[in-house]
Amino acid sequence: MALIITDECINCDVCEPECPNGAISQGEEIYRINPKLCTECIGHYNEPQCVEVCPVDCIKKDPAHIETKEQLKAKYQSLIAK
């Protein structure tokens, strides 16, 4: 599944540059993750880099976008094909 940034986000700016897919952007109040671009770093890293660097642990699995590792890998493949 894609990831989501909760309202506990402190806008520290460390997650956005870590995303290899460009899925993270500044929202109106907090950062947001585009589920169409989020592969949880599958294809790039072993762990989601945004989760690794987040100082307040506000990045969670998004229950509204449930995906298997195979689906995330397929999404990664389609993103790099573009």
pLDDT per residue over 42-71, tens digit each?
999 999 999 999 999 999 999 999 999 999
Structure tokens at 4: 């989501």
Alpha-carbon span 58 to 63, nearest angstrom: 14
Residue 82, pLDDT > 80, answer no
What domains sit in the chain, N to C, each tagged with a CATH number? 3-81 (3.30.70.20)
- The yes-or-no verdict on residue 30 having pLDDT over 80 is yes
User: Mean pLDDT score of the chain, rounded to an integer?
Assistant: 96
Total Cβ atoms within 10 A of residue 63: 8
Partners of 33 in the β-ladder:
24
The predicted pLDDT at position 55 comes to 97
Q: Which helix (H) or strand (E) segment is 54 a member of?
A: none
Q: In the predicted model, what is the mean pLDDT of residues 12-34?
A: 97
What 3-state DSSP class applies to 37?
Answer: coil
Q: What separation, in Å, do the N-terminal and C-terminal C-alpha atoms of the chain show?
A: 21
For residues 27-56, average pLDDT = 97
